[in-house]
Amino acid sequence: MSDRRKFVKFSLLSSAAILAGRYLFAKAATKDAPLPATVTNDPIVISTWDFGKDANTAAWEVLRKGGRAVDAVETGVKIPEADPENQTVGLGGRPDRDGRVTLDACIMDENSKCGSVACLEHVVHAISVARMVMEKTPHVMLVGDGATQFALENGFKKENLLTPKSEQEWKEWLKKEKYEPQKNIENMLPGGVRNHDTIGMVAMDKNGNLGGACTTSGMAYKMHGRVGDSPIIGAGLYVDNEVGAATSTGVGEEVIRIVGSHLVVELMRQGLEPEEACKKAVERIAARNPEQAKLVQVGFLALHKSGRFGAYALQKGFSYAVKNGKEEKVYDAKHLYS
């Protein structure tokens, strides 16, 4: 064989080998880790904190009748939004340091459609405004006056969200704290009452489709205009219909820094169980600033496409509510610090 023919043969063989190698590598690189369990398509709804139980009941009615996960989560979180006794969501939420109740919310469906409002005022059902942003505008997020104007123009009722109880507490706080912006004042409210809690809810419907919603009045006595993680897609909530959904609660600034809910979903994509994924996200917060992390609470909640779920928090005290065809239960999440 001439040198030239040898060379051509060698080149062809090596090109074929390189192409085959690339194909195999590409396959390996794009293949997601195996699902941790068979996909069952059994409807389920999970939400943050013990007050998620009543919200789950409303969401379950939608799922039980064969409704979409996104409809279920919107219906579910409207329960605490309308409850004046719940001082961390919607009506009756604790105000900012200027005495204004400002709401953050977002929603995401199985097609990665999403909508969000931040610093919304005077409208109880922030989640439904977020949904309307998703469905009726070309945008994902409306904030402040623009969000409120959009809501009022689209038929939402203008209401005073500051209840006498929340107003009274805010006035007491003003006397003591002298208008200082707060990073985390979990233990500063009377009786050690939590000053921030959010309802984050994720669900799977009978078609195996996922949806999520997150809504809050945010951190009590925040600076006016402060926006937390809850309305930020990827931070307070993320839904990927191929993998799972996650949501968060706690000090939003910490969650935003690691784009927490998206991180949890991506960790599940790599094969981690929901609780492990939540734990890794919590550990990442702790690793970045251990001193700060010891002082604040953050909790993540995740639902895998398989129907498996789990949660993890920085501190003791984070609970979450689960409802499916078999159980209705409130669990205490595991936590990093004692």
Q: Is 252 in the site for ligand ASP (CB under 6 A)?
A: yes
Q: DSSP 3-state assignment of 309?
A: strand
* The dihedral sign for the CA sequence 145, 149, 151, 152: positive
- Tokens 């550990």 found at: 283
Min dist. Cβ of residue 201 to ligand ASP (A) = 13
Per DSSP, 34 falls in state P
- How many chain residues touch ligand ASP (CB under 6 A)? 13
Q: How crowded is residue 316: how many other Cβ atoms within 10 Å of its Cβ?
A: 13
Min dist. Cβ of residue 57 to ligand ASP (A) = 21
Min dist. Cβ of residue 51 to ligand ASP (A) = 12
Per DSSP, 306 falls in state T
Given candidates 81, 110, 229, 266, which one binds ligand ASP under the rule CB under 6 A?
A: 229
Beta carbon nearer to ligand ASP, 56 or 87:
87
Q: Is 96 in the site for ligand ASP (CB under 6 A)?
A: no
- Determine the Cα–Cα distance for residues 247 and 190; give it in Å rounded to an integer: 28
Min dist. Cβ of residue 219 to ligand ASP (A) = 5
- As beta bridge partners, residue 115 has 107
Please name which of 115, 189, 175, 169 lies closest in space to residue 147, comparing C-alpha atoms. Answer: 115
- Tokens 């998206």 found at: 262
Q: Is 249 in the site for ligand ASP (CB under 6 A)?
A: yes
Phi/psi of residue 157, nearest 5 degrees: -80, 140
Q: Is 218 in the site for ligand ASP (CB under 6 A)?
A: yes
Is 198 a residue of the active site? yes
Q: Is 196 in the site for ligand ASP (CB under 6 A)?
A: yes
- Annotated catalytic residue within 88, 148, 163, 198: 198
Provide the binding-site residues for ligand ASP, judged by CB under 6 A. Answer: 196-198, 216, 218-219, 228-230, 249-252
Instruction: Enumerate the active-site residues.
Output: 198
